[in-house]
Amino acid sequence: MVTYRQANAGDYLEIAKLHVKSWQQNYRGDFSDHFLDTEATAEREGVWQNRLNNPMPNQFCWVAEQEGEICGFACAFLEDDAEHGTLLDNLHVLGTTKGKGIGRQLMRLVAQEVLKNDPGGKLYLWVLKNNISAMAFYERLGGFNCETVAGNDIGDKEVRKCRIVWNNLKKLI
Ligand SMILES: CC(C)(COP(=O)(O)OP(=O)(O)OC[C@H]1O[C@@H](n2cnc3c(N)ncnc32)[C@H](O)[C@@H]1OP(=O)(O)O)[C@@H](O)C(=O)NCCC(=O)NCCS
């Protein structure tokens, strides 16, 4: 059975590990081999240690667990952008547990949190343009691509990324 709970400070290493594994499986080519294989672990451990030990007041993070192991997570920042609303950064589900509704349930939990804060709240995220599978998932959940831009905020390569938005979060619940 999969259960869901808010993340706590003790989860940072397990989340970082899942995050890196997911990047290695899904982002190779967009992120360099050098970054994925030698730098990503330290980079993600730093990010998650900081996020979970010193959470921003507008941050919330959910994990999915199966048999005591974290198999998915979603992290979001309320009212991050004046036009697009809450930023979802990031959503990942362990490869072996994909396709079982965990991603959809994490998105539902995020949407509930946004609407609790603001009944008219909006949600957005950035996804790599080449991440066809995640794009299809977001489309299935009612998100739409409102712009594609170049960026190099993570790693050592420039990537093309799409901003996926939801203006009506009730669709996610
Ligand atoms: C994208 C991701 C989060 C989806 O999570 P998931 O648990 O596998 O997805 P779910 O099982 O909840 O699927 C929900 C719905 O989306 C659909 N869906 C999921 N993946 C899909 C795909 N690749 N193509 C088409 N539809 C898809 C499912 O069929 C399901 O539809 P239904 O409920 O109407 O039957 C997960 O596959 C993942 O972690 N991918 C790798 C990391 C990643 O790319 N994260 C996004 C970063 S921006």
DSSP 111-141: HHHHHHH-TT--EEEEEETT-HHHHHHHHHT
pLDDT in tens, 74-91: 999 999 999 999 999 999
pLDDT in tens, 2-43: 999 999 999 999 999 999 999 999 999 999 999 999 999 999
- Out of 2, 137, 153, 159, mutate this one to test ligand 1's pocket (max ligand atoms within 8 Å of CB): namely 137
Ligand 1 atom at shortest distance from the alpha carbon of 132:
23
pLDDT in tens, 135-173: 999 999 999 999 999 999 899 999 999 999 999 998 899
Domains (range + CATH), the chain: 2-172 (3.40.630.30)
pLDDT of residue 171: 86
Using CB distances shorter than 6 Å, the residues near ligand 1 are 22, 26, 90-93, 98-104, 125, 127, 131, 133-134, 136-137, 140
Distance from residue 103's CA to the centre of ligand 1 (Å) = 6
For the chain, the first-to-last Cα distance in angstroms comes to 21
Residue nearest atom 23 of ligand 1, based on CA coordinates:
133
